[in-house]
Chain A
Amino acid sequence: MSYQLRATLGRFGRLAAALAILLSIFIGPAALAADNTDPSNPNGSALLIKGTVKNEKKPVEGVEFHITGNGVDEKVKSGADGKWVLEVTNKGVYKVEINLETLPKDVGLRDPEANVRDANLTITNTAAVLFPLGKDTRVVQPIGDQILIRLFAGLNLGLLLAVAAIGISLIFGTTGLNNFAHGEMVTFGALFTWLFHAELKLPLLLAATFTIILGAAFGWAQDAALWKPLRKRRLGLNQMMIVSIGLSIVLRQVFILGFDGDTKVLSGEYESVSLGPILTTSSSLWSMLISVLALGFVAWFLTRTRIGKAARAVSDNSSLAAATGINVERIIRIVWVMAGALTALSGILYGLQFQANYLLGAQILLLLFASVTLGGLGTALGATVGAIIIGFVVELSALIIPIDLKYAASLIILIVVLLVRPQGVLGKKQRIG
Chain B
Amino acid sequence: MDILNILSLALGEMISPTTITFVLCAMGLSVHFGYTGLLNFGQAAFAAVGAYGMAIGLITFQLPLWLAVIMGLVCSAIFALILGIPTLRLRADYLAIVTIATSEVFRYFMTTIGFAKVTGGSNGLSQFGKQFWALNPIPEADYNFGFVTYRSDQLFVLIVGWGTIILGALVLRLLMRSPWGRVLKGIREDEDAVRSLGKNVFAYKLQSLIIGGMFASIGGMIFVLNLSNVQPQTWTTNFTFTIWSVLLLGGAATILGPIAGGMIFLALISLTQGIMGAMVEMGWLPFLSQPDVAQIRFILIGLSLMLLVIFRPQGMFGNKRETQFNG
Contacts and interface: CB of A to CB of B under 8 A. Distances in A.
B56 to A, nearest CB: 19
A235 B100 CA distance: 22
A249 interface: yes
A252 B303 CA distance: 12
Nearest to B245: A246
A418 B87 contact: yes
A246 B304 contact: yes
A241 B94 CA distance: 11
B295 A418 contact: no
Contact of B310 (A243, A254, A407, A422): A243
A373 B100 contact: no
Interface residues of A, number: 51
A433 B301 CA distance: 31
B113 A238 contact: no
A72 interface: no
A401 B115 CA distance: 12
Contacts of A415: 86-87, 98, 101-102, 105
Contacts of A373: 94, 97
B41, B93, B244: most-surrounded residue (chain A CB, <10 A): B93
A249 to B, nearest CB: 3
A259 to B, nearest CB: 12
Nearest to B37: A238
A253 B298 contact: yes
Given A237-B93, A238-B326, A256-B295, A250 B109 contact: no
Interface residues of B, number: 53
A63 to B, nearest CB: 16
A405 B114 contact: yes
Nearest to B232: A113
A402 to B, nearest CB: 5
A122 B90 contact: no
Contacts of B98: 414-415, 418
Nearest to A226: B306
B295 A257 contact: yes
A404 B108 contact: yes
B112 interface: yes
Given A257-B295, A405-B112, A250 B93 contact: no
A230 B310 contact: yes
Nearest to B313: A239
B108 A408 contact: yes
Contacts of B292: 256-257
B301 A243 contact: no
A1 to B, nearest CB: 30
A404 B113 contact: yes
Contact of B306 (A237, A243, A407): A243
Nearest to A408: B108
Contacts of B279: none
B92 interface: yes
B305 A404 contact: no
Contacts of A238: 39, 92-93, 96, 325-327
A370 interface: yes
A112 B113 contact: yes
Given A113-B111, A257-B295, A411 B101 contact: yes
A236 interface: yes
Nearest to A235: B310
Interface of B: 39, 41, 86-87, 90-94, 96-98, 100-102, 104-105, 108-109, 111-114, 121-123, 237-238, 241, 244, 248, 288-292, 295-296, 298-299, 301-307, 309-310, 313, 325-327
29 contacts: A92-B290, A113-B111, A113-B122, A115-B121, A116-B122, A178-B93, A236-B326, A238-B93, A238-B327, A239-B313, A239-B325, A243-B306, A245-B241, A247-B302, A249-B238, A249-B298, A250-B302, A250-B303, A252-B298, A366-B104, A370-B101, A404-B111, A405-B108, A408-B108, A411-B101, A411-B102, A414-B101, A422-B90, A432-B94
Given A246-B301, A404-B113, 15 more contacts: A113-B111, A115-B121, A235-B309, A242-B248, A246-B306, A249-B302, A253-B302, A366-B100, A373-B97, A404-B111, A411-B104, A412-B105, A414-B98, A415-B87, A432-B94
